[in-house]
Chain A
Amino acid sequence: MSLLKIRNLSVEFATATGPFRAVDSVDVDVEKGEILAIVGESGSGKSVSMLATMGLLPWTATITADEMSFEGRDLRTMPGRERRKLIGKDLAMIFQEPMSSLNPCFTVGFQIREALKEHLDLDRKARQARAVELFEMVGIPDPERRLKAFPHQLSGGMNQRVMIAMAIACRPRLLIADEPTTALDVTIQAQILDLLTDLQKDTGMGLILITHDMGVVAETAERVAVQYAGQKVEDQKVADLFDRPHHPYTSALLAALPERATERRLPTIPGVVPGQHDRPRGCLFSPRCKFADDRCREVPPPVQPRPIGLARCHYPLNVPAGAEEERA
C-alpha cells in the first residue's frame, strides 16, 4: 500500500476575473521511505497540489480528486477533527520562507512545544526535553537558549532548521518540503538538504521535495515528477529521467543545466508559463515547444504509458523500442 496516493487531482481558484485552474488532473504516488521530487517553474502548481493534500488552501480554492488517500485512509471524506489529528503528526510540511513561516509573537520553543502538546501525550518537562532533543537533531547549537528566542532573532537557515524540527517533532510518516532551500544562501542550502536526507534515512519517513532546481533533484531524489502549468508532464526514476527525458519540456529543462551546456551560452526556454488569460487550446507547452505542430496546438495530448514516463505529449522523445507497439 502506498503512503500517499492521489488520482486526478484538480484545484481551481475563484478569482475576480473568473476561475483559474492551478492544478489540472495530477496523479501523485509516494511509497514508504521514498524520496519523490516534484519539479517545475514557478506557477506550475506544484505547491498548490501539496497544500491541497494538507488541506491548507484558502477558501477560494475548489479541490476535486478521484482519489486522495494517506495510508489507505481517504482524506476527502475525513472529517476536520480527524484530519487535524493526522496533519502535523503523520503528515507534516515545511515551507519556502522560513522567516515568515514562524509566528513573530511567540518564541520558537513555544511553537515547537505547541505541536508536541497537540499530538503527543507528554507532560511539560517531557515536551521541553523533546524540544531540546529535536533542536540537537537538526543541528541547532545551544538548544536551551535558542528555544527562548523569537523567530526574528534567528537567521533564515536557523529558522528553517526550527521549521524542520517542528515538522518532525511527532515523527511523521511523510514530510513535504516545499522549496525548503530557495530563500536561503547557497552554502546553507546544501546543509539543509543534507539534513533532510539524513533525517529521512534515519527515520524512514517518506519525503516529497518540491523544487525548481534540477541540481537538487539529481542529488537527493529517487523519483521525479515534472509539472508544467498545473499538469504533470512526466514521471520517472531520477537516473532514467536524466538519461532519457521523454517530454520536450523535461528535455529543455535538462538542457538548461549549466553542466550539460554544450555551447558557451546557456540554452533557455523561450516564453513563460501560460497564465489565466492565455491558456492555449491544445498542449499547454505548445507555444514554447520547438517540436510543436498544428496537432499540438489544437488537440490536448494524451498521457503516454509508464515505459514512456507517463509523458503528456503527442510526440514523446527517446521512445524505447517496443514501447511504441504497446501504445498502439
Chain B
Amino acid sequence: MADASSQIARTVPTRRPSRFKEFWRYFSENRGAVIGFWVFLAVFLVAVFADLLAPYDPAAQFRQHALQPPFWQSGGTWEFPLGTDALGRDMLSRLIHGARFSFFVGVVVVVVAATGGILIGLIAGFAPKWLDTIIMRLMDIILAFPSLLLALALVAILGPSLLNAMIAIALVLQPHYVRLTRASVINERTKDYVISAQVAGAGLPRLMFKTVLPNCLAPIIVQAALSFSTAILDAAALGFLGMGAQPPTPEWGTMLADAREFVLRAWWVITLPGLAILVTVLSINLMGDGLRDALDPKLKRS
C-alpha cells in the first residue's frame, strides 16, 4: 500500500501552476484586461511625468491663438497640436496635467474609502449583533442617497474644491466596502481554518487581520478597481457642475464645464477632455473585469 502511494508522487507529468502564474494566466487570457492595463500604465506615466511631457505651462495663455483647432484641421498648427481653448491655453498641456488630477483623485479616494470601509466592515463582521445592526443600518442610510447627490450636498456644506469633492466621494463610496468586507468576513468566519485558529488561541486582532482579512481580499480588490473609476467619473461630474476643482485648474471635468458654451463652435474643447476621461475610466474598468475573472474562483471555467 505504501508502495502505491509513493508511485502516485512519481507519476506527475504536468505540475499544477503556481498561484501568481495562474492569476496572470487568467488575467492575460482576457485580452481587454491586458489592453486596459497598458493604457492605465500609460496614463499613469503621463500623470507622473506631466511636467516633462507638457509643451507649455497649462495655465499659460496665448490670447492671439484663442480657440485654434487641432493641427489636422485648417487653421491648426503644430505649435498647438490639439488646439487651444477660449483663453488660448494649449489643450495638450492641459490634458496632460489633467491626468494628474484624475489619478490623484482616484488614488486618494480609493485609499480613504477602502481603509475606512474595510476597517468598519471587519468590525461589523466580528462585532456582537447589536453593533453590527447599527453599523449596517448606518450604511443603508448613506446608500439611500444617490451618491452624486450626497456628494453635491456635502460639497455644498464644505465649499467647492477638489479636496472637498474627494472627501465627499470617499465618504459616499465607503459603504460599498463595508458591506463587501462584512459579507465575506461572515462567510469566512464559519470556516474550519478560522475556528481552528480561534481554538489555537489567536487573539481578536490577529484573527481579524491575519487570519480572515487576507481571504476576503479578492472581492475588495475588484471593488477598489471599480471605485477608482467611479471616483474619477464623480470628481469630473462635480467639476463639471462647478462643485469640484475650480478654474483654472486643468481638471478634465472643469475643462468641460468651461467649454460648454462653445459646444457648437469648437468641438475639440469639448471632445478631447471627455475622451480623456472615457479612455481612462474604460481602461480601469477593463482591468477590473479582468481582475474579477482572475480572482473570483466561481467564474473560472474548469
Instruction: Please report A residues at the B interface, Cβ cutoff 8 Å.
Output: 13, 15-18, 20, 60, 270-271, 274, 276-281, 286-290, 292, 297
Which of B5, B12, B29 is the one whose CB lies under 8 Å from A278?
B12
Find out whether the CB atom of A287 lies under 8 angstroms from the CB atom of B15: no
Instruction: Say whether B11 contacts A16, CB under 8 Å.
Output: no
Beta-carbon nearest neighbor of B7 in chain A: A287
CB distance from A282 to the nearest CB of B (A): 9
Smallest CB separation, A102 vs chain B (Å): 23
Contact of A287 among B11, B13, B16, B29 (CB under 8 A): B11
Give the CA-CA distance A286 to B12 in the complex, in Å. Answer: 13
B128 at the interface (CB under 8 A from A): no
Q: Is B157 part of the binding interface, using a Cβ–Cβ cutoff of 8 Å?
A: no
- Complex contacts, B301 vs chain A, CB 8 Å: 15-16, 60
Chain B residue nearest in CB terms to A269 = B4
Residues of B bordering A, CB below 8 Å:
1, 4-5, 7-8, 11-17, 25-26, 29, 300-302
Q: Are A278 and B11 in contact (CB under 8 A)?
A: yes
* Contact between chains at B11 and A297 (CB < 8 Å): yes
Q: Give min CB distance, B123 to chain A, whole Å.
A: 36
Given A274-B11, A288-B4, 18 additional A-B pairs, CB 8 A: A15-B302, A16-B25, A16-B26, A16-B300, A16-B302, A270-B1, A270-B5, A277-B13, A278-B12, A278-B13, A278-B14, A280-B11, A281-B13, A286-B7, A287-B7, A287-B8, A289-B4, A290-B1
CB-based contact A271/B5 at 8 Å: yes
A270: which B residues are within 8 A, CB to CB? 1, 4-5
For the complex, give the distance between the alpha carbons of A292 and B11 in Å: 13
Q: Which of these, B1, B11, B16, B25, contacts A281 with CB under 8 Å? A: B11
Q: Please name all residues of chain B whose beta carbon is closer than 8 Å to the beta carbon of A274 when the two chains form the complex.
A: 11
Complex: how many Å from CA A297 to CA B4?
12
Chain A residues, Cβ within 8 Å of B5: 270-271
Can you list 20 A-B contacts (CB < 8 A)? A15-B301, A15-B302, A16-B29, A16-B301, A17-B17, A17-B302, A60-B301, A271-B5, A276-B14, A277-B13, A277-B16, A278-B12, A278-B13, A279-B13, A280-B11, A281-B13, A286-B11, A287-B8, A292-B7, A297-B7
Chain A positions within 8 Å of B1 at CB level: 270, 290
B173 → chain A closest CB, angstroms: 32
How far is B86's CA from A58's CA once the two chains are assembled, in angstroms? Answer: 59
Point out the residues of chain B lying under 8 angstroms from A281, CB to CB. 11, 13
Which residues of chain B are within 8 angstroms of A287 by Cβ–Cβ distance?
A: 4, 7-8, 11
5 nearest CB pairs, A to B: A15-B302, A280-B11, A287-B8, A277-B14, A287-B7
Q: Please give, as numbers and ranges, the residues of chain B lying within 8 Å of A15 by CB-CB distance.
A: 301-302
Q: How far is the CB of A300 from chain B (nearest CB, A)?
A: 13
B15 and A277: CB pair below 8 A? Answer: yes
A294 to B: closest C-beta gap in Å: 11
Contacts of B25 in A (CB 8 A): 16-17
Cα A287 to Cα B4 in complex, Å, equals: 6
The CA-CA distance from A128 to B269 in the complex, in Å, is 69
The chain A residue sitting closest to B4, CB to CB, is: A270
CB closest chain-B residue, reference A274 = B11
Write out the residue numbers on chain A whose beta carbons fall within 8 Å of the beta carbon of B29: 16
Report yes or no: B13 in contact with A271, Cβ–Cβ below 8 A: no
Q: How far is the CB of B104 from the nearest CB of chain A, in Å?
A: 37
Which of B1, B7, B16 has the most chain A CB within a 10 Å cutoff? B7
Chain B's closest residue to A20 (CB) is B302
Nearest CB on B from A17, distance (A)? 7
Measured between beta carbons, the chain A residues less than 8 angstroms from B17 are 17
Chain A residues whose C-beta falls within 8 Å of the C-beta of B14 in the assembled complex: 18, 276-278
Contacts of A277 in B (CB 8 A): 12-16
Residue of B nearest to A13 (CB): B302
- Tell me the bound Cα distance from A8 to B249 in angstroms: 72
- Give every chain A residue within 8 A of B4 (Cβ-Cβ): 270-271, 287-290
Q: How far is the CA of A164 from the CA of B15 in the complex (A)?
A: 43
Specify which chain A residues have a CB less than 8 angstroms from the CB of B300 in the assembled complex: 16
**In the complex the two chains form, what is the Cα distance from A13 to B29 in whole Å?**
17
Of all chain B residues, the one with the shortest Cβ separation from A290 is B4
CA distance A274 to B14 in the complex (A): 12
Residues from chain A with Cβ under 8 Å of B302 in the complex: 13, 15-17, 20
A278 touches B7 (CB 8 A): no
**Closest Cβ of chain A: how far from B10's Cβ, in Å?**
8
Report the Cα distance A155→B40, complex, angstroms.
Answer: 53
- Would you give the shortest CB distance from B28 to chain A, in whole angstroms? 11
Residues of A within 8 A of B16 (CB): 277
- Kindly list chain A residues whose C-beta atoms are within 8 Å of the C-beta of B8: 271, 278, 287-288
Which A residues lie within 8 Å of B13 (CB)?
277-279, 281
B145 to chain A, nearest CB (A): 34
A276, A279, A280, A287, most chain B CB atoms within 10 A: A287
Q: Which residues in B have their C-beta under 8 angstroms from that of A271?
A: 4-5, 8
Q: How far is the CA of A270 from the CA of B9 in the complex (A)?
A: 13
The docked-state distance in angstroms from the alpha carbon of A271 to that of B300 is 26
| Nearest residue, chain B, Cβ from A14 | B301
Q: Name, among B12, B15, B25, the residue most crowded by chain A CB atoms within 10 Å (CB to CB).
A: B12
Residue from A17, A286, A289 having most chain B Cβ neighbours under 10 A: A17
Min CB distance A166 to B, Å, is: 30
Q: How far is the CB of A270 from chain B (nearest CB, A)?
A: 5
Smallest distance from the beta carbon of A204 to chain B beta carbons, Å? 41
